[in-house]
Structure 1
Amino acid sequence: MSKIRTIERLQSLLDEELSWRIKEIATLKILVKRSDNIASSTAVRAAIPLLYGHWEGFIKSSATYYLQFINGQSLKYSDLTSCFVVFGVKKKLNDIEASMASETSIAAVEFLMNELNNTAKLKVDSAIRTEFNLSSKVFVNILKSIGFGVDRYEARFNLIDESLLKRRNYIAHGEYLDVEADGFRDLADEILCMLRWFKTDIENAASLGLFKKIA
């Protein structure tokens, strides 16, 4: 994946990524609102998996953009906070854990010690894992992996797990689920709120250089 070298480019990509999702979610809300009583349940059932797709898609895409931005700063591993160093040397860490051979462990440790003075090359393509099931637990792991706080999202963990993910899974597995149109619109607004928060978190972290280790 290409590097993102400027904050302006990062903001532009984030704006584009969120903009089209906002428009589509707004369209879903309109379709649900305009459906008659008979079709309302069907419209909501069709809309919830799409809403979930925007939740997972934006978190994954925007977090990946953030890592591409960090790659684009051409910093050394030793300049980065620990959570980002992991993205560059995770394979070697896994080698140490998986191998029983001292030779492999020693080689991996030497690599890690020497690599810290080299330019960071974060493995972006597979770094952000939503596991196709972006629950609050998975989301927290993503937040922590990129150095973000959890506190302001916590009040919406039940909404993520029960109102969005559980319903999406029911529908995806062909099970009947009756959701009112008003309930869907409220859910969509809450998800959009979290997507905006996440975007702001990324923009602030990039602008303030929160990915850099404090000297």
Structure 2
Amino acid sequence: MATDPTLLEQEIMSDISERRDLMFRLKALSPRYHFSPQDEALFLNYSIPIVYSIWEGFIQTSFQIYIRELNELNLKISDICYPILIYHIESEFPQFKQYPKKDKQNNKVIFFDKFGQFYQCNALRISSKVNTESNVGFNVLNRILTDFNLETILTHPEPNYSLQDDLDKFLLKIRNDVAHGQNSIVVHREDLDRAIKLVNRLMDLVFERIKTGFINKSYLR
């Protein structure tokens, strides 16, 4: 049974290292290959969506690692804290958000049969469906942390700096504008540096919360 916190830490740290190496290589592309001004402008515009994809990929991977380690513990339903239990039920039983219509009786039977089996299981296999809403902004990030009963991240971790603005109004906004074909967007090299610095900081913050939650057993009721 893989319940050693160091195994969890090592795997997430390895993932962070790979993502940092990828961002370093991304940052070095233009200087290394001496892009023309036109090519550099094109590269910089599309570098921000790449950095965002690295960020969202980290959230998916790190929480899937965390869920896998929790499942290795063979926890009973009565052992698991309510936030994780609710997360699992809402992931596996979307009928709670959209109940089957009356004229679809068979759907109701399937739903209640599956729900009954859920409460009869000896050990709960927590769902690995991490809903990022394809936009891991500040509120979504803290919602995911709350789903797993982990400490949320402060909007203003230091005076005169808003982590929420840096994520939502900078990284996420540029990514969405570029993805939606906004040709007026101009990204500078300083913006790429800022995006990479932000993702590095966010990965550390999320990692610390997952590690602390696992060590302190915040997953228990």
TM-score by length of 1: 0.81
Q: Residues of 2 paired with 1:96 and 1:136: CA distance?
A: 24
TM superposition shift of 1:32: 4.8
Bigger Cα displacement from structure 2, 147-156 vs 18-27: 147-156
Alignment gaps of 5+ in structure 2: 103-107, 157-161
- Separation in 2, partners of 1:50, 1:19: 16
Greater Cα shift, 83-92 or 44-53: 83-92
User: Which residue of the partner structure matches residue 160 of structure 1?
Assistant: 167
Instruction: For residues 119-152 of structure 1, give each alpha carbon's deviation from its aligned partner in whole angstroms, at most 9, with x where no partner exists.
Output: 222122xx21112222223222212111123242
Deviations 1:51-108 (A, max 9, x none): 000110001110111111111111111111101112443345735861577x97xx58
For the residues of structure 1 that align with 2:120 and 2:10, how far apart are their CA atoms? 31
Higher helix residue share? 1
C-alpha contact 1:7 1:206 (8 A) present in aligned 2: yes
Q: Distance in 2 between matches of 1:16 and 1:152?
A: 25
d(CA) in 2 for partners of 1:161, 1:98: 33
Residue 150 of structure 2 contacts residue 209 of structure 2 at CA under 8 Å; is this kept in 1?
A: yes
Percent pairwise identity: 20
SS of corresponding position for 1:69: helix
* Residue of structure 2 aligned with 1:119, choices 117, 120, 123: 123
- Measure, in 1, the Cα distance between the counterparts of 2:97 and 2:174: 40
The 10-residue stretch of structure 1 (175-184 or 33-42) with the greater mean CA deviation from structure 2: 33-42
Aligned to 2:146: 144
Distance 1:77 1:137, change over 3 A: same
Within 5 Å, which residues of 2 pair with 1:1-215? Answer: 5-32=3-30, 38=37, 39-90=39-90, 91-92=92-93, 94-95=95-96, 98-99=99-100, 111=116, 115=119, 118-124=122-128, 127-153=129-155, 155-176=162-183, 177-213=185-221
Report the AA paired with residue 122 of structure 2: N
Distance 2:174 2:163 in 1: 15
| In 2: Cα distance, 1:183 partner to 1:96 partner | 40
Paired residue total = 208
**Cα 1:92–1:187 shift into 2, 3 Å:** closer
Write the letter of the residue equivalent to 2:180. H
Distance 1:58 1:96 in 2: 28
Coordinate RMSD, CA, aligned = 3.2
Per-residue deviation, residues 13-44 of structure 1 (Å, max 9, x unmatched): 21221111000111222235665671442231
SS in 2 for 1:189: helix
